[in-house]
Structure 1
Amino acid sequence: MSKKYLAFDVGGTTIKYGIVDENLQISDRGKVDTLHNKDGHILKSLIKVTKEMIQKYQLDGIGVSTAGIVGDDGSIMYAGPTISDYQGTPIKKELERTFKIPVSVVNDVSAALLGEKLAGSVKNASSIYCVALGTGIGGAFWADGHLFNGYHQTGNSIGYTLFDPITSTNYEQRSSTIALQKELEPLGIDPIEAFARAKKGSLREKKIIDAWALQVAEGLSSVLLLLDPEVLVIGGAVSKQGNYLKDLLNEKLNQILPPNLCKTVLKMASLGNDAQLYGGISNIFEK
């Protein structure tokens, strides 16, 4: 009988889920609202959905990708304002206690990296840094067979770096896709439309995207100089811009890095939103 795993991706507004089989096919997808975690709704929803799935499948494990910093015990060590009253939620403990099957809980950016390594664009890489560009900016680092999260599990918090005292902004406040959206507001368009116009040669949109890409490259350059990963993979919805964004970031990196110093290969994530589902189950799948 094919092994089956239940994978969750907990975000600020929705919890996506699906059944992943041993051939990495995803089925029985669904999603539920987080309800801003009112009265512990997120953990209650994970338990409720798992009970429903156990009626249909013999599950070999549960994987949870989640926003927030995840401790070694699979609980939420730190959660920003996006999800209220989430800090301290004992996800792994409660799911294992309730269902008596293996459970893995990982931060969503780490899950994106693990998902791309399991089934996506960096399967064969041995040293990977993932930068997820979205509402904020998160990082994750894989080398020597495991994730590096730092002594206090707060490593790779790249979004908080590069604070500028003049503007009182940090890296993610200047370089996230939300920051790009704000620059585009006077034009009345979103980043998807801006990229589409820039690709067709519109100089107005290209100028805005170029300036944003330079801000993004400044943070990426720190990763390359400090950690020298084999591959740096860009995740988040903006990764759908593919080679156009990859070439643009490489161009900006070449402007700010010493010539011929950094050898890291830049890649775009290939799995979209499925990366977190794959990454959530990665640790138990590979065992």
Structure 2
Amino acid sequence: MSEDKVFLGVDLGGTNIQMGLVSEDGQVLTREKARTDAAEGRDAVLGRIVEGVNACCEDQGISLKDVTAMGIGVPGPVDYVRGVVVEAVNLGWSNEPIGEMLAQRLGIPVTLDNDVNVALYGEWKHGAARGANDVLGAWVGTGVGGAFILNGALYNGHFQTAGEIGHMIISPDNPPGVRSLEHNCSRTAICNRLRQLIEASRESVIPSLVDGKLHKIKSKIVAEAYGRGDELTVEVVHDAAERLGVVLGSLVTALSLGRIVLGGGLTEAMGAVWVEQVRAAVHRVAFPVTTRDVEVVATELLDNAGVIGAALLAKQRVLEASDAVQV
């Protein structure tokens, strides 16, 4: 192994944990994946992370003491200064000092941030956001998450919770549970709406794709039905893309953003057709007319974005801490 520094990146999701050993220049040297199984409790999840990152090191013939630092992206608001997960609904965590817990178990510095923050950071360093100073990331999957690069830096905001765009209220007159961006535009919302409409006797090819088991509708099924020109799926997907694009276009109006990066499981499954639909809505509503040159692009790093971004964010924060000590 060379003397070059290496970092660990962890993308902790509600379903899976993606872990990787990453070089200083953002190359993924090795990957591990584990089920999250959050229902088994916090300590069990942390144990799987420890096991996975140790496996990454063993694969490269190094030990944890050869790793400079580890970054971890968590699905929810995070106090990265204290290393505390403020709230991660998918994991059942609230005010958990995960940074300190993992640092003690691993013996290396650990930094936390929101999962979309680290994914966009990875795209900014080595993917679809390269070269842009003002970027919005919108990740659409189980929920809808956001992140911002503003003035050439990751933006966390006063409360360190910037980017929670999924919880923006877009339809206040709707009943509770269907008012937010996430309630209307996530993969979960799209699949639920398709299921409800099919159960209400709307015709669709989807039941034949899932053997009549409508609870099995996921991103890939939506993409396949859309690709077959299924009228109901096209209607529901276009409605969600329109609503998402209007919100993203409004954020362009507010912040004069130069680029939007779309990611997440739904974006990856749907591909260019989803991006095109969202882009059309963004360009229609952004104001003034000059902002309609905003680029709307898909993730390039796919499910490596979070691993790379978490590792490189750990690198940045370790360097910042070192510089502060020297001063």
Which TM-score band applies after superposition, normalised by the shorter structure?
0.7 to 0.9
Partner of 2:45: 42
Partner of 1:59: 67
Q: TM-score, normalised by structure 1?
A: 0.88
Partner SS state of residue 8, structure 2:
strand
Q: 1:175 to 1:62 in 2, by over 3 A?
A: same
The question of whether the paired residues in 2 share the 8 Å contact of 1:7 and 1:280 is answered with: yes
Deviates more, 1:237-246 or 1:116-125: 237-246
CA distance in 1, matches of 2:285, 2:131: 29
Q: 1:256 to 1:103 in 2, by over 3 A?
A: same
Q: Does 1:251 align with 2:287?
A: no
Partner SS state of residue 96, structure 1:
helix
More helix by share: 2
The question of whether the paired residues in 1 share the 8 Å contact of 2:133 and 2:153 is answered with: no
Match of 1:76 among 78, 85, 90: 85
Q: Which runs of 5+ in 2 are unaligned?
A: 199-203, 210-216, 320-327
The question of whether the paired residues in 1 share the 8 Å contact of 2:118 and 2:305 is answered with: yes
CA distance in 2, matches of 1:208, 1:50: 40
The question of whether the paired residues in 1 share the 8 Å contact of 2:33 and 2:52 is answered with: no
Q: Give runs of aligned pairs for residues 25-40 of structure 1, distance below 5 A.
A: 25-36=27-38, 37-38=40-41, 40=43
- Count of aligned pairs between the two proteins: 285
Q: Which runs of 5+ in 1 are unaligned?
A: none
- Following superposition, the deviation at residue 151 of structure 1 comes to 1.4
Partner of 2:20: 18
- Could you say what the CA RMSD is over the residues aligned between the two structures, in angstroms? 2.4
Partner of 2:97: 90
Partner SS state of residue 248, structure 1:
helix
Deviates more, 1:167-176 or 1:27-36: 27-36
The question of whether the paired residues in 1 share the 8 Å contact of 2:135 and 2:257 is answered with: yes
Deviates more, 1:131-140 or 1:22-31: 22-31
Q: 1:218 to 1:59 in 2, by over 3 A?
A: same
Match of 1:205 among 233, 246, 261: 233
Match of 1:110 among 111, 117, 120: 117
The question of whether the paired residues in 1 share the 8 Å contact of 2:34 and 2:52 is answered with: no
Partner SS state of residue 15, structure 1:
strand
Partner of 2:294: 264
Q: Percent identity?
A: 24
CA distance in 2, matches of 1:254, 1:278: 30
The question of whether the paired residues in 1 share the 8 Å contact of 2:253 and 2:287 is answered with: no
Partner SS state of residue 273, structure 1:
helix
Deviates more, 1:155-164 or 1:63-72: 155-164
Partner SS state of residue 247, structure 1:
helix
- Following superposition, the deviation at residue 277 of structure 1 comes to 0.2
